[in-house]
Amino acid sequence: MEQKYASLSLVAALGLLMAPASAQVVLLTDEENHVVNETTVYVNGDPGLPGGQDDLGFAFKATSAIDQFVNLKRYEVSVLPGTTNYFCWDLCWLPADVGVHPVWFANSAVHLTAGQVFTGGHAYYGAEGVSGTSTFRYVWFSTSDENDSTWVDVVFNAQPVGITENASLVRTFDVFPNPAVGSDVTLTYDLATAPAAGMRLSVYNMLGERTLTRTIGAAQGRLTLRTGDLPAGVWFATLESNGRALATRRVVVTR
């Protein structure tokens, strides 16, 4: 069935210091060749009509430094009821209502040879006439070592034509020490404007579950996460405005 996809406005939050490509399972780039590993990407479009075929979509390219099998899984982080979504990793799933697949694995892993650029990856979102934002985390991992992984958060923002979103509100967002070895974690941020009501920091685990939140009350500041708040593991700290993810940082905690 032929699909039509709305025109996109992509804004990648590229504030993270990127590790060398060889340290991650794949190097991820968007259609404009921007590196998007462990960043938040915004896809803007019109909500359309219920049952319509004008899905919002994001295409990405994956490049491997070694010969390996790579698979993809998708987490629902913050989604709007009544919407649909699906994705492709070589093969495509059929659209499904949100909540049906909180965690969704691709049909099968793809074998990538060293230096190969794979273009069979896409993420799609059907607003079904519902205005607002839904956030998904896409995680690529090696089938030989699932801890060898990287991710991209995609925020699908469906608003009526003429309503724009400020996707560059965050000037800086930093975490230290990172990794944290038996110590507290400090997060510093600098916003372009004073935060609106509903601005907060949320911390998610690897399953996309929110484990704690902190209110953001000033344009600049720092927040401390105590040692007891974060068990050893990988966490994701996200600045959010009324449920919309603005920037995400991965936090590694060891003991």
pLDDT tens per residue, range 212-241? 889 998 999 999 988 788 888 878 888 888
Which residues are CB-contacts of 212 (< 8 A; sequence separation ≥ 6)? 202, 203, 225, 229
Which of 100, 126, 158 terminates a domain? The answer is 158
DSSP character at residue 22: G
201 and 146 in a common domain: no
124 and 70 in a common domain: yes
- Say how far apart CA 233 and CA 191 lie, in whole Å: 28
The CATH number linked to 123 is: 2.60.40
| Residue-range definition of the domain harbouring residue 57 | 4-158
Direct distance between the N- and C-terminal alpha carbons of the chain, in angstroms, rounded to an integer: 52
186, 78, 135, 252: CA torsion to nearest 10: 30
The CATH number linked to 239 is: 2.60.40.1930
208 and 88 in a common domain: no
For tokens 């960043």, name the residue: 39
- Say how far apart CA 218 and CA 234 lie, in whole Å: 27
In a domain, 164, yes or no: no
207 and 134 in a common domain: no
Residue percentage of the chain with pLDDT more than 90: 41
62 and 129 in a common domain: yes
123 and 99 in a common domain: yes
142 and 186 in a common domain: no
Strand partners, 12: 41
Is residue 67 very low, low, confident or very high in pLDDT (cuts 50, 70, 90)?
Answer: very high
- Say how far apart CA 180 and CA 165 lie, in whole Å: 34
In the predicted model, is pLDDT for residue 97 greater than 60? yes
Of the given ranges (33-47, 66-80, 132-146, 198-212), which has the lowest mean pLDDT?
A: 198-212
In the predicted model, is pLDDT for residue 111 greater than 60? yes
56 and 142 in a common domain: yes
In a domain, 163, yes or no: no
Q: How far is CA 109 from CA 59, 144, 156, 239, 255, in A?
A: 18, 11, 25, 32, 33
**Residues present in the chain in total:** 255
In a domain, 107, yes or no: yes
Q: What is the pLDDT of residues 129-181, one digit of tens each?
A: 898 899 999 999 999 988 889 999 999 988 775 434 444 688 888 888 888 88
Better-predicted residue by pLDDT, 29 or 15: 29
In a domain, 93, yes or no: yes
Which of 93, 124, 158 terminates a domain? The answer is 158
Q: How far is CA 111 from CA 65, 142, 167, in A?
A: 12, 10, 35
In a domain, 165, yes or no: no
pTM above 0.85, yes or no: no
Number of domains observed in the structure of the chain: 2
150 and 43 in a common domain: yes
Q: What is the pLDDT of residue 11?
A: 31
Which of 130, 158, 186 terminates a domain? The answer is 158
Longest Cα separation, the chain: 54
Residue type, position 123, single letter: A
Q: Identify each DSSP E strand in 90-169 by its residue range.
A: 91-92, 96-97, 103-105, 110-112, 117-126, 132-142, 145-158
In a domain, 91, yes or no: yes
- Say how far apart CA 235 and CA 252 lie, in whole Å: 6
In a domain, 138, yes or no: yes
In a domain, 152, yes or no: yes
- Best CA proximity match to 189, nearest among 216, 155, 165: 216
151 and 190 in a common domain: no
108 and 20 in a common domain: yes
122 and 228 in a common domain: no
Q: Are strands 91-92 and 180-181 parallel, antiparallel or unpaired?
A: unpaired
Q: What is the pLDDT of residue 76?
A: 95
Q: What is the pLDDT of residue 168?
A: 60
Q: Which phi and psi angles does 80 have, rounded to 5°?
A: -95, 130
Cα three-residue angle 247-250-255, rounded to 5 degrees: 150
